[in-house]
Amino acid sequence: MNTSTGLGVGRISLAFAFGQLWWGSTQPFRGTVDERIGTGRVIFVGVLLAVIGTGSTLLMTSTTGPIFGIGVFAAGGAGMAGPSVLMAASTRLVPADKRGLSTGIVNAGG
């Protein structure tokens, strides 16, 4: 990314730092949205946001671009389609005695 965008390590690191902050702060809202519209839709939107954010990052030439690409879209999408959503969905689909195994498999894959 450093070579492709020419932005430098500091600016790219700022985008990733903002992404970590955004990912963590959106988790409570993601749970609310998940309960209202359903897990499948949340995962779909999350994957879509992650693809848009990741794909657009290499086209950015200013500091603001990676902050939105990585920090908002990709991190927000990762939060929406990440292991926590998949673990919650898997526990609803398997019997109670298999929940530990299913969350372990999802977590290992994450």
Domain extents for the chain? 2-109
Sign of the CA dihedral 31, 86, 65, 67?
positive
Local structure of residue 58 (DSSP, 8 states):
T
Q: How far apart are CA 47 and CA 36, in angstroms?
A: 18
This prediction has a pTM of: 0.76
Q: Is the pLDDT reported for residue 7 higher than 80?
A: no
Q: What is the mean pLDDT of residues 67-94?
A: 86
pLDDT grade, residue 92 (50/70/90)?
Answer: confident
Q: Is the pLDDT reported for residue 74 higher than 70?
A: yes
Q: According to the model, what pLDDT value does residue 2 have?
A: 66
Counting residues of the chain whose pLDDT is more than 70, the rounded percentage is: 95
